Structure formats: structure tokens, C-alpha cells
Chain A
Amino acid sequence: MRPESRSVVMRGLTVCIAAVVVILALDGAVNVLMAQTPFGAPRPSGAEPQVGGIVGWLLAKQSEFYREMSSTIRAAKSDGSAVWTLLAISFAYGIFHAAGPGHGKAVISSYLVANQETARRGIVLSFASALMQSLVAVLIVGICAWLLNATAKTMCNAEKVIEIASYALIAAFGARLVWTKGGGFMRALQATQPAPAMAAVAHHEHAGHGHDHHHHEPSHIHAHGAHHEHAHEHGHVHDEHCGHSHGPAPSELAGPGGWQRGLGAIFAVGIRPCSGAILVLVFALAQGMFWAGIAATFVMGLGTAITVATIAIIAVSAKDLARRLSGGSEGGGALVMRGVEFGAAGLVLLFGGGLLFGYIAAERVTCF
């Protein structure tokens, strides 16, 4: 009698906590959404915050490095050694640039958390998307400005189209995550109901869907065997009465199918180039130093990747910690983790939608 009532209390608690986490996550996102009046009039301001602390310092450093780039490119025309300075500045700029707010790392981190990816995968995703971003910037300027000698206006129209495509991709990617993670979350919710009959129903349900990209895994076999490491992958329900058998090892999850999934994230984030890189490239081209601009762009991407990877590792470790602390393999813990994943998936969708419909002001395309 006593352990039962205790587990009911625990379940109730975890449901509440899960709800709080989702709300917190959504609140953060909504704040981002609502806080912006990107192109409107300023709000009547009572409090006028000043920039200070780490954020202010990051902004100041970024501006400093960025502003030094134009004079360094000029200097490099006559003095070859200035190219090294340019690369050093670009690298530092990349690191600081990504440390500031931006949607790329938010999407990647959310994706990693939603999908229970490894830190290693996070690093690879960060570097691949940063590399792609650099490549897209070089291609845009190379084709539009260098080959076609198009005007800035034409170039920025091309950027706008790419930008919209990128946001739509992020939203679609988020929708798919929400779809799969939502299923897992609902089943975990149902499983926390005390009635065993319902849990059984949940099992059958889960066998039916929520597997759209896991066909390579023998999911039905362990429909009753929850394994804490990848429970979410199958939307497993963790009843107390079946928690012993094993699913695939974590290493198997990073198989070919897994990388394919990651490609979606790389593409969605990496297709949108950084406005700063475009400006630097056009400037370098005009100075007859296009190659230096290209080198600077890739070094910038390297710096960005390092920062994004660091943040991705923090996100992944935080989730691992949360799972360990919440005793991830039991019913309540599983619910919490499904809730966290669902929340993260929802964030990706929110970011995509928010960016697409202009509620989130991303780095503006330079069009004026």
C-alpha cells in the first residue's frame, strides 16, 4: 500500500515538474518572440537598461574585431603579413559572434536535446553547419558579385529567398520533431496513469506509429523492454513491471540512419549565410583580395563552430545530468525526459515559425 501511494505522489510531482519545464522552455521562446518589435516603433520605455557584463563585453569585442576587418583587408593589399592578422581577427570574430545570441545554436542545441544525441554528434553537427554556412556565403558572393557583377540589391534578394527557405526548413524540421516527440510524451503520460490496462493500450499504440525514422531498428521486439538510454527513440512506455530487457546499444543509434537525420539539421541551419561574411566577402572582392575574404570566411566559420559546439555539449550534458538525476529509466523519470524532449522539439518548431513570420528578429539581411 505504502510504496504504491508513494509512486502516485511521485508521478504527480513529475508531471508537474515536466509541465513546469515545458512552460519554462516555451516561456523563454515566447519571451524571445514577444520581446522583439524588430521594425516597429520603440516601446515607450520606462526602464532603459545599459549594456554591461558579459553580454556587453561580447558585443563590444565583436564590433571591435569586425571593424578591424576592413582596415586589415586594405592593409593586406600591400602587406602580405596583414593576411595573418585578418585570419586571427576573423577567427576571434567567429568565436565571439556565435557566443552572442543567434538562432543557429539554439536550433542545434534543441535538436540535440530532443533527439538524445551524443556530444560527439553535437560537435560534428556544429562544424558541418558552420562549414556549410561559410560555403553558401562564398557561393553567393562568388556567383552574384564576382561572376555576374550583380548589385547589392540583387544579392540581398537572393539572400532573402535563401533565408525564407532556411526558416521554412527549420519549422518543418521542428514540426517533424514535435510529431515524433509528442507521441512519446503522450504515451509516457498515459503510462503514468495507475491503470495497467491503459499502459497496455499505450504499448500497442506505440508499436503502430511514432517510428517514422527508426525502421532500421527492431523496435517491436523490445516494446516491453525499456532501455533508459534510448527510450525516447521508440516512445517506450516504462512500466514498473517491464524494465529489464535491452534495446540496441547507444553506438548503434549513431548508425547511417542517425546521420541522415543530422543532415536535416545541418542543412536547415547552414543554408543561411551570415550577413557579416557576405559584407566581408564583397569588401574583399572590391579590394581585389577575394581570396583573403574567402579564407577569412572559413576561419570565421571555424570560430563559430567551436562556440556552437561548446554550447551543444553543454546542452547535451545538461540533459544527461537531468536524466541521471531524474532516474530516467522509471516511469516518472521517463515522463520527465519525454517532456523535456517534447519541449525541445517544440522550441525548434517555434524558432522556425517565429523566424519565418518575423516574430524573431534574426540577423538582418543587409538590404538597404
Chain B
Amino acid sequence: MNISMRRLLGLLLFAGAYAFGVSAAQAHPHVWITASSEVMYAADGSITGVRHAWTFDDMFSTYALQGIETKTKGVYSREELAPLAQTNVESLKEFGFFTFAKADGKKEKFQEPVDYFLDYKDAELTLHFVLPLKTPVKPRELALEVFDPAFFIDFKFADKDPIKLVGAPAACQMKFQRPNDGTANAQKLDEQNFMSGDNSNYGAMFANKITVDCP
């Protein structure tokens, strides 16, 4: 074999092994959230916002409760949890509340959350909050996605009543698609494109997709 050919081969081998070692710097979930959400409508049929109830897994709930003083041990009232709820919504802002809305293909923005509080039941914390849209919209199609692009948090919608439309016009139809249920004509993320770094939509693989069509 020709020397330069051998060199090339050696380098390719090296680059391949290297790519395996480096790959990409994505996280895997450490926090699990069971969500149930409501799409809120005004009387005129326009969408005003989203109401979320996110239940954290017991390990994260315990972590979040670390150092919080209560009158009765193991019992956390809404008032005692208010500072933590405040911290939650403030921190979630950085991540866009993991809620991404598009009205007829156009990105919509949310305002600061309102009506937020935490409750504690069966060793799990549930964060309730309302995300009002900056401007209410009345699209033919609303696309709502809930996920963590970095996949540090695994969002799973509740088995029972994952999404509700509250006050929606009767003609509106809601479709809900869980991640990985294979209904999308999805491109498979195999080792090959993982290694090549073609994973810009990494977290999006775990997106929960809600679409509401109002003809």
C-alpha cells in the first residue's frame, strides 16, 4: 500500500475514533415532569394563553424542598412554598418556560407567568402557572410544543386529560402527539448522524406536540 494512502487511512481511523469520544455535549434527563396543560380561550374565540400544571418527580421535589422551613415537618403549605414557586418561575424564564407556540406558523411570545403556586402531595411538588400570550391570537392553526431542548428535563404529559381546551369554539379540533410515538414521518436518529453532529434538534425529539385547528 502506498504510504500516503496509509497515512490517510490512519487519520481517518483516528478521526472516527475521536468523533466517538467527543460526540456532542448533550445532557440526559435528571428531572421528570408530568404535565397537564390547558389552552385558554377568550369569549371571542381567541387564544389568550396556556395554563400548566407540572408535577416534578420525587427526587427533584425532595431536592427543591431542601432547606425550606415549615411549621409541621413534612407538610408544606402553599404560603410556605411561595418563595420556591417564585424561584421556579423566575428560573424557568431563562428557558422560555419550555413552551413554544406558533400561530399559523408564526412564533408567538409569552408574557411573565401569572397565578403561580406550588402544592405538595405524595412527596411530589406540582407547579401551577399561567403563561399569557403577549397578544391574544386567533389562528387557524395553533402549534404548541412543550419540551426541553437540552433534554435535562423529560416532559411527559399525564395519561388522563393531558391537554384541555378551555372555552374553545366548538369547531376547533385538538391533536396531541407524544414524543416517539412514531406517527410523524420522522427521520431516524441513528449512530451515523449522531456522530456527524447532525443533531441540532436533539431535544425536539422529545417534544410533546399539540395542534389545534379552528377552521
Where the two chains meet, the residues of A that have a C-beta atom closer than 8 Å to any C-beta of B are 10, 13-14, 17, 20-21, 24-25, 27-29, 31-32, 34-43, 45, 47-56, 59, 62-63, 66-67, 69-70, 97, 100-103, 105-106, 109-110, 113, 145, 149-155, 275-276, 278-280, 282-283, 285-287, 311-312, 314-315, 317-319, 321-327, 332-333, 336, 340, 344, 347, 351, 354-355, 360-364, 366-368
Contacts and interface: CB of A to CB of B under 8 A. Distances in A.
Contacts of A287: 62
B67 A325 contact: no
A325 B10 contact: yes
B58 A43 contact: no
Contacts of A286: 62, 65-66
B28 A100 contact: yes
A341 B21 CA distance: 15
Given A21-B11, A28-B19, A102-B25, A149 B149 contact: no
Interface string B5-17: 0111111011111
B88 A368 contact: yes
Contacts of A28: 18-19, 22, 197
Contacts of A355: 25
A336 B87 contact: no
B23 A101 contact: yes
Interface stretch (B37-45, B132-140, B158-166, B179-187): B179-187
* Of listed A14, A103, A323, residue having the most chain B CB within 10 A: A14
Contacts of B17: 314-315, 317-318
Interface of B: 3-4, 6-11, 13-32, 57-60, 62-68, 87-88, 91-92, 94-96, 100, 107, 145, 147, 149-150, 152, 154, 180, 182, 184, 186-191, 193-194, 196-207
A70 B62 CA distance: 10
Given A39-B96, A49-B201, A279 B25 contact: no
Nearest to B16: A318
Contacts of A40: 96, 149
14 contacts: A39-B95, A39-B150, A49-B193, A50-B186, A53-B194, A102-B25, A149-B67, A282-B66, A315-B17, A315-B18, A322-B14, A326-B11, A361-B150, A368-B88
In the complex, the 4 A-B pairs of residues with the closest C-beta atoms, listed nearest first: A325-B10, A31-B197, A368-B91, A49-B189
Contacts of A53: 188-191, 194
B207 A42 contact: yes
